[in-house]
């Protein structure tokens, strides 16, 4: 067994795990954060995407012990004080989901996309950057719309926040 400590959604956690425990298992089974899904378990689908030190990664393809000391954000960590994150709000508004299985990974990938590429995302960029996220329901059209709108809304929010500070 090995001990691993990390920050998950702002809270310090320490767990004793078998070294082969994947990050997604630690999140779902030890911490009961079941918003992060396992779609394929073969590194293809992106349902398991979370942020590790601010970057989107597939949590089914990382050992928890490798991430000792890291800061992890899951879908549960996006909303603040009961208000949905602008990207979550955009997925709801634009009907960017049907069954919802891919949605947590899609939203975490979308926020990462904004972090890397800014708030003004065109359709081509969004579609290309969704290479690692598979949806079996929507046909992607509304996901792309939701991400473009969410990206824009995140810009607004950042400005408001900066102005308030």
Partner 1 sequence: MYAFAYHRPATARQAAGLLAKKEDAKLLAGGHTLLPTMKQRLASPAHLVDLGACADLKGIERKGRNLVIGAMSTHAEVAASPVVQEAIPGLAYLASHIGDPHVRHRGTIGGSVANNDPAADYPSACLALGATIVTNKRKIEADAFFTGLYETALEEGEIITKIAFPVASKAAYAKFRNPASRYALVGVFVAKRGSDVRVAVIGAGEGGVFRWSEGEAALKARFAPKSLDGVKASAKGINADMHADAEYRAHLIGVMAKEAVARAVGK
Ligand X SMILES: Cc1cc2nc3c(=O)[nH]c(=O)nc-3n(C[C@H](O)[C@H](O)[C@H](O)COP(=O)(O)OP(=O)(O)OC[C@H]3O[C@@H](n4cnc5c(N)ncnc54)[C@H](O)[C@@H]3O)c2cc1C
Residues near partner 1 (CB under 8 A) = 2, 18-20, 22, 41-43, 46, 49, 52, 55-58, 61-63, 65-66, 68, 109, 112-113, 116, 129, 131-133
**Nearest distance from residue 160's CB to partner 1, in Å?**
27
**54 token code pair:** 């601010």
Q: What is the dihedral of CA 56, 128, 140, 103, to 10 degrees?
A: 0
Query: Phi/psi zone of residue 2: left (φ > 0), alpha (ψ -120 to 50 degrees), beta?
Result: beta
Residue 94 and residue 87 in contact, taking contact as beta carbons nearer than 8 Å: no
* Complex with ligand FES: residue 130 or 153, whichever CB lies closer: 130
Question: How far, in Å, CA of 66 to CA of 73, rounded?
Answer: 16
**Nearest distance from residue 154's CB to ligand X, in Å?**
27
Residue 37 and residue 48 in contact, taking contact as beta carbons nearer than 8 Å: yes
Question: How far, in Å, CA of 142 to CA of 89, rounded?
Answer: 13
Q: Work out whether 52 is an interface residue with ligand X (CB under 6 A).
A: no
Q: Residues 7, 9, 30, 44: which binds ligand X (CB under 6 A)?
A: 44
Question: How far, in Å, CA of 66 to CA of 78, rounded?
Answer: 24
The entry of partner 1, ligand X, ligand FES, none near residue 101 (CB within 5 to 8 angstroms by kind) is: ligand FES
Q: Work out whether 135 is an interface residue with ligand FES (CB under 6 A).
A: yes
Q: Work out whether 141 is an interface residue with ligand FES (CB under 6 A).
A: no
- Bridge partners for 55 per DSSP: 52
Residues of this chain that interact with ligand X (CB under 6 A) are: 43-44
Residues of this chain that interact with ligand FES (CB under 6 A) are: 38-41, 43-48, 58, 60, 97-102, 135-138
């Amino acid at each position: 067994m090995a001990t691993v400590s990390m920050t998950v959604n702002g809270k310090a956690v320490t767990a004793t795990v078998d070294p082969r425990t994947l990050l997604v298992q630690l999140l779902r089974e030890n911490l009961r954060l079941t918003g992060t899904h396992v779609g394929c378990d073969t590194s293809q689908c992106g349902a398991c995407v979370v942020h590790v030190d601010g970057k989107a990664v597939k949590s089914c393809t990382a050992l928890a012990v490798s991430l000792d000391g890291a800061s992890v954000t899951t879908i549960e960590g996006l909303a603040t004080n009961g208000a949905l994150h602008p990207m979550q709000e955009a997925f709801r508004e634009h009907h960017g989901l049907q069954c919802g299985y891919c949605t947590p990974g899609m939203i975490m990938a979308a926020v990462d996309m904004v972090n890397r590429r800014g708030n003004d995302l065109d359709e081509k960029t969004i579609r290309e950057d969704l290479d690692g996220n598979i949806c079996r329901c929507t046909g992607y059209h509304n996901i792309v719309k939701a991400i473009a709108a969410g990206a824009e809304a995140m810009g607004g929010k950042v400005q408001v926040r900066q102005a308030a500070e």
